Structure 1
């Protein structure tokens, strides 16, 4: 089985300047295993990309990984905005 944390870090780290600020936290809901990606403020734009194209591609890769159980994977970029 694939370690989703490692997959996300492997994809994200080459895109950011401040690799030490990259962290992932988990949250389970009824339907999802959510992975919350925490980045430095300067790197959020790089990961999201113009019109969200970069993050959408990353999500497509992460969501395509088979996981055990009935819950789906969700990737959330925490940008400090609520």
Structure 2
């Protein structure tokens, strides 16, 4: 089974939700047991990515984590949305 390109998956899921997709940037780093992906979007679009009570963000995390390899030695994915308010 082919490895999933997580960044392109995230990009394809997130771009339709944004009003200003040109402001989207995704940063990837490795931290111990995790591949960490930080999503930066226009501050006016952050609420669209998080959704009411975090439902959209939770759905994005579920899809991205489900697409990852299930091998025992593979790292888990951590998806973070930069809120710009903090």
TM-score (ref. length: structure 1): 0.92
Residue in 1 aligned with 2:84?
A: 80
2:39 is paired with a residue of what secondary structure? Answer: strand
How does 1:1-82 map onto structure 2 within 5 Å?
1-67=3-69, 69-82=73-86
User: Which ranges of 4 or more aligned residues in structure 1 deviate by more than 2 Å?
Assistant: 66-70
Q: Which runs of 5+ in 2 are unaligned?
A: none
1:45 is paired with a residue of what secondary structure? Answer: helix
May I ask how many residue pairs the two structures share in their alignment?
A: 82
**Alignment partners' CA distance in 2, 1:81 and 1:27:** 22
Report the alpha carbon displacement of residue 70 of structure 1 after superposing the two structures with TM.
Answer: 2.5
* Rg comparison, structure with higher value: 2
Report the alpha carbon displacement of residue 63 of structure 1 after superposing the two structures with TM.
Answer: 0.5
Q: Which runs of 5+ in 1 are unaligned?
A: none
TM-score (ref. length: structure 2): 0.88
**Alignment partners' CA distance in 1, 2:56 and 2:68:** 21
